[in-house]
């Protein structure tokens, strides 16, 4: 049963705002994250198939369909409050559940976008959602609604993650993708707001400025999804756009998240950060400042993939940061209350 936010302590509310990654394929290997779930009360976990921080680790969380289901069952059983279990299963190259490990083949957004209609997208998304549901996963960090707006984009276009350069076509495919997931009982997350498709750099590596290349066309797929009632969650981008905020990247910007996404586009759902351990954030902000600015900007669910850098204590550190920030009045208590309420409301819809 979902608790009310009022029944939770400040520390429990802060913990619900976390989506954390971890190492281990079996419950016996995962005591740290199980403790984070059972004791700290983190709101969700994110799964990966490989370990970026330590390439010598050939397995991260995924060995086979049966193993994955057992792992997810153990994680969810440890939770006092229903757990978000998230994954980046876009299809194509961004695919954590690979054929070599017994999972079905998936298709990239770019391949789906080349079709005239969206029937193929709906069918492919339904297949992905079915695979996730069979594993007990309830939150897919997809679809990508960035435009194919820069032929030299190294992380979106180069990995075939764009449906199209036409924002209306992107919106049609994204809506079909999200609806197919809902039909299977899963939620989706449109990404990366306010648009990463025109970038020439990769925010995993460091600072990326889209001021000269970004256009308002990149907002249209988000707007259409929101208008259609098909937008469950939105993931922020770490891109810097001086047109929207002359100081901070989008994830840390009230002007972008509260002003544009909430105010202009009228989005009332869950705002999820891109991985807070990516270079665009860590190269310029310490943990405390980044967390405080993200929450004040409007982020409800902070993602710490714990993969680019591994810290088994990251969940407790972030909860400590948030609690101190509220107690010392750097983050309004109402902002944490609102974020926690959105997380719990999102979970109640699963």
Q: 220: helix, coil or strand?
A: helix
For 25, other C-beta atoms within 10 Å of its C-beta total 17
Nearest partner of 301 among 45, 78, 24, judged by Cα: 45
Nearest partner of 8 among 338, 329, 337, 346, judged by Cα: 337
Cβ 331 vs Cβ 319: under 8 Å: no
* Residue 284 falls in the annotated catalytic set: no
* Residue 209 falls in the annotated catalytic set: no
Give me the catalytic one of 36, 51, 148, 274: 274
CB burial class (10 A; 0-12, 13-18, 19+) of residue 321? buried
Give me the catalytic one of 29, 35, 166, 204: 204
**Spatial CB neighbours of 259, under 8 Å, sequence gap ≥ 6:** none
For 40, other C-beta atoms within 10 Å of its C-beta total 18
DSSP string, 263-293: IIT---SEEEPSPTTSHHHHTT--HHHHHHH
Cα separation values, 285 from 196, 210, 238, 330, 336, Å: 20, 19, 12, 16, 21
- Residues marked active site are found at 204, 274
């Amino acid at each position: 049963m979902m608790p009310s936010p009022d029944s939770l302590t400040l520390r429990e509310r802060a913990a619900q705002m976390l989506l954390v990654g971890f190492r281990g394929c079996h419950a016996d290997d995962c005591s740290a994250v199980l403790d984070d779930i059972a004791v700290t009360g983190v709101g969700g976990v994110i799964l990966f198939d490989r370990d970026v921080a330590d390439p010598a680790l050939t397995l991260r969380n995924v060995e086979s369909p049966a193993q994955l289901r057992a792992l997810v069952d153990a994680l969810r059983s440890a939770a006092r409050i229903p757990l978000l279990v998230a994954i980046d299963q876009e299809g194509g190259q961004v695919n954590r559940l690979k054929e070599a490990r017994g999972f079905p083949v998936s298709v990239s957004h770019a391949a789906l976008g080349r079709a005239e209609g969206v029937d193929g997208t709906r069918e492919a998304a339904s297949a992905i959602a079915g695979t996730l549901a069979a594993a007990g996963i309830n939150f897919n960090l997809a679809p990508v609604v960035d435009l194919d707006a820069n032929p030299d984009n190294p992380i979106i276009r180069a990995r075939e993650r764009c449906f199209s350069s036409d924002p209306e076509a992107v919106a049609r495919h994204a809506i079909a993708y999200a609806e197919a997931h809902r039909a299977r009982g899963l939620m989706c997350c449109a990404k990366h707001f306010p648009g990463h498709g025109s970038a020439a750099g990769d925010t995993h590596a460091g600072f990326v400025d889209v001021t000269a290349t970004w256009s308002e066309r990149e907002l249209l797929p988000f707007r259409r999804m929101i208008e259609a009632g098909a937008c469950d969650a939105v993931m922020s981008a770490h891109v810097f756009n001086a047109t929207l905020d002359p100081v901070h990247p989008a994830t840390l910007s009230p002007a972008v998240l509260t002003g544009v996404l909430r105010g202009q586009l009228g989005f009332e759902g869950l705002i999820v950060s891109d991985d807070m351990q990516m270079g665009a954030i860590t190269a310029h902000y310490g943990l405390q400042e980044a967390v405080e600015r993200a929450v004040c900007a409007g982020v409800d669910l902070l993602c710490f993939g714990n993969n680019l850098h591994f810290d088994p204590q990251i969940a407790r550190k972030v909860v400590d940061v948030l609690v101190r920030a509220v107690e010392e009045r750097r983050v309004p208590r109402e902002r944490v209350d609102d974020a926690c309420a959105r997380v719990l409301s999102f979970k109640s819809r699963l």
